[in-house]
Amino acid sequence: MKSVSIIWIVFISLFLSIGCSEVNNDITPPPTVGVHPVGFGDRTSPNFHKFVFRENDWSFNLRACQECHAADYAGGVTGQSCLGCHREPAGPEACNTCHGDFSNPEYIAPPLDLEDNSEVSARGVGAHFKHVYDTTSVSVNYGCFECHQKTDGKDLFVHEHIAPPPAKMEFGEFAHSDSLGLEPIYDFTDLNCSNTYCHGGFKFGKSSSQNQWAYAEDYIVGNNYSPVWNSTTGKEAECGTCHGEIDADGNLVTPQPKGHFGAFVITDCVNCHSSVVDGEGKIIDRLKHINKEINYP
């Protein structure tokens, strides 16, 4: 009986030694499985996430990113923070993440557009700078929601306005012509807007004016001009487009609105509107030009 036990002990020891001798200590660990393609965070890679989003027509939801990278995008279960590149307080939700200047949070409107275009001729760029940032323009600058759809609440706007191009157009209060009752329209084919107060969709009535002597007719009326959004001529907001007259080449004939008394040139405007223009007809107070009022003097 004792000899049988010894035989079993020897057999088991031999079996274990053989089994252990076959263990490979140099096994390559399995690759880490991820949901993103290789290069998703590499700006030099064709798989960089911006390019992937673009190829998929910008159909993505930041909430999906938060499921793995945490609500604040600091890493979450992945341990990979988004905030190393997206350094603004809002992280990837900053307005200049997809368009505008990624390095400057003050410039959230194009250029650049979603296709990285910077030229005015690009439909995604167009006259954004003129409307939003240009301090030499003939009016005050306007915010995004004067032309684009507004969703109440920051969180809803950040998440729900991300959609395939073109951008949704929904003109704000200022663009609506109170006097003509026109509905502003943007034509996505011809790339122009029409029926906007800001481009001459207005009329001022003589009967309610304190300066009825300035009226040759019952109303002073604008031209209801339709500027081309991505025009490179530089003349889409020139004097004579919104009120007055321009020739076939876009040159000013007269700034005199329809229904205004007299016959005058641009250097005459200062005689009655000295708080708005100077002797050369240049705008000196943008707050008093294109403001739904007649400023006299």
Name which of 12-16, 106-110, 287-291 the model is least confident about. Answer: 12-16
**Which long-range contacts (C-beta less than 8 Å, at least 24 apart) are formed by 120-125?**
120/230, 120/231, 120/232, 121/230, 121/232, 122/230, 123/166, 123/191, 123/229, 123/230, 124/99, 124/165, 125/230
Q: Which of 166, 157, 291 is nearest to 230 (CA)?
A: 166
Tens digits of residue pLDDT in 235-246 = 999 999 999 999
pLDDT higher for 35 or 283? 283
Domain ranges of the chain: 174-297
**Average pLDDT of the chain to the nearest whole number:** 89
DSSP string, 258-296: BTBSS---GGGGGGT-TTTB-TTS-BS-GGGSSSSS---
Write the Ramachandran bin of 233: left for phi over 0, alpha for psi from -120 to 50, otherwise beta: alpha
Q: What are the C-alpha distances in Å from 183 to residues 173, 202, 242, 267, 290?
A: 11, 12, 17, 33, 18
Cα–Cα distance measured from residue 186 to residue 165, given in angstroms and rounded to the nearest whole number? 14
- Note the pLDDT of residue 65: 92
- Note the pLDDT of residue 155: 58
- Note the pLDDT of residue 10: 52
Tens digits of residue pLDDT in 120-145 = 999 999 999 999 999 999 999 999 99
The DSSP element (H or E) to which 252 belongs, if any, is strand 252-254
Write the Ramachandran bin of 73: left for phi over 0, alpha for psi from -120 to 50, otherwise beta: left
pTM for this structure?
Answer: 0.84
Cα–Cα distance measured from residue 229 to residue 130, given in angstroms and rounded to the nearest whole number? 10
Angle, CA of 10, 16 and 20, to the nearest 5°: 145
pLDDT higher for 23 or 106? 106
- Note the pLDDT of residue 149: 82
Burial call 216-250: b when 16+ CB within 10 Å, e when fewer? eeebbbbbbbbbbbbbeeebbbbbbbbbbebeeee
Using pLDDT thresholds of 50, 70 and 90, give the confidence band for residue 178.
confident
Average pLDDT over residues 285-293: 97
Cα–Cα distance measured from residue 201 to residue 111, given in angstroms and rounded to the nearest whole number? 28
In the block, tokens 């923070």 appear at 81
Cα–Cα distance measured from residue 134 to residue 24, given in angstroms and rounded to the nearest whole number? 69
- Residue 154: pLDDT above 60? no
Average pLDDT over residues 191-216: 97
